[in-house]
């Protein structure tokens, strides 16, 4: 087999050795601080009442570019059940951005896409649902250390399909 660019074996060995030495010395001198800027948080929700149960697990992680700006991803899983009426599973993800003009104030934007799968009791004569619903939240909150509490508004709110009862929602965020 003929190579397009014939290379001497000694030169090949030297190049491999040289590149590996550069890589070795570079990797010893360069320490990534990426993980020092990642913060983990999210939400846990439980709601139960007269033959009703709802549970939510919504972890997320954000990367703090500096003291003012963070960007991250989240996932959401919710299960709801009303005895003899319906059961639903809601799964999805989100893209999250935070801006802190000063340390105590946090402005947020979050795009969330959820898949809703609702199964109604056969006696109700309601059709089962399976659909995707987007949400775009803009919010503001007061931040104290690792905790932020405030309010957010869904500008894409759909009264027929949203999983929430209204477009406004209070929130509490924890990041570690």
pLDDT single digits (tens) 32-58: 789 999 999 988 889 989 999 999 999
User: Per-domain residue ranges for the chain?
Assistant: 34-175
Residue 133, pLDDT > 50, answer yes
Task: Report which of 87, 90, 88 is spatially closest to residue 75, judged by C-alpha positions.
Answer: 90
Residue 59 contacts residue 84 (beta carbons within 8 Å): no
Burial of residue 12, with CB atoms counted within 10 A of its CB: 0-12 exposed, 13-18 middle, 19 or more buried? exposed
Average confidence (pLDDT) over 64-85: 95
**Whole-prediction pTM value?**
0.77
Q: What percentage of the chain has pLDDT greater than the value 90?
A: 66
User: Which range (5-19, 110-124, 152-166) has the least confidence?
Assistant: 5-19
* Residue 68 banded pLDDT, cuts 50, 70, 90: very high
Burial of residue 81, with CB atoms counted within 10 A of its CB: 0-12 exposed, 13-18 middle, 19 or more buried? middle
* Residue 29 banded pLDDT, cuts 50, 70, 90: low
Q: Mean pLDDT of all residues in the chain?
A: 87
What region, left, alpha or beta, does residue 65 occupy, with left being phi > 0 and alpha being psi -120 to 50 degrees? alpha
Helix (H/G/I), strand (E/B), else coil: 75 = strand
Range 34-175 classified under CATH 1.10.3720.10: no
pLDDT, residue 87, reads 95
pLDDT, residue 22, reads 53
Contacts for 15 with CB less than 8 Å, ≥ 6 apart: none
Residue 4, pLDDT > 50, answer no
Neighbour count for residue 77 (Cβ, 10 Å): 14
């Amino acid at each position: 087999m003929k190579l397009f660019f014939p290379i001497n074996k000694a030169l090949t060995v030297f190049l491999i050795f040289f590149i590996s030495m550069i890589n070795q010395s570079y990797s010893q001198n360069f320490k990534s601080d990426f993980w020092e800027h990642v913060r983990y948080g999210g939400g846990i929700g439980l709601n139960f009442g007269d033959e009703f149960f709802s549970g939510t697990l919504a972890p997320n992680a954000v990367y703090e570019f500096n003291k003012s700006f963070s960007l991250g991803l989240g996932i959401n899983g919710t299960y709801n059940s009303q005895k003899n009426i319906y059961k639903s599973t809601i799964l999805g993800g989100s893209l999250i951005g935070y801006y802190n003009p000063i340390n105590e104030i946090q402005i947020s934007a979050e795009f969330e896409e959820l898949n809703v799968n609702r199964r109604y009791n056969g006696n109700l004569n309601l059709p089962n649902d399976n659909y995707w619903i987007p949400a775009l939240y803009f919010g503001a909150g007061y931040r104290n250390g690792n905790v932020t509490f405030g309010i957010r508004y869904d500008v894409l709110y759909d009264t027929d399909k949203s999983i929430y009862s209204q477009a406004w929602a209070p929130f509490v965020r924890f990041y570690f």
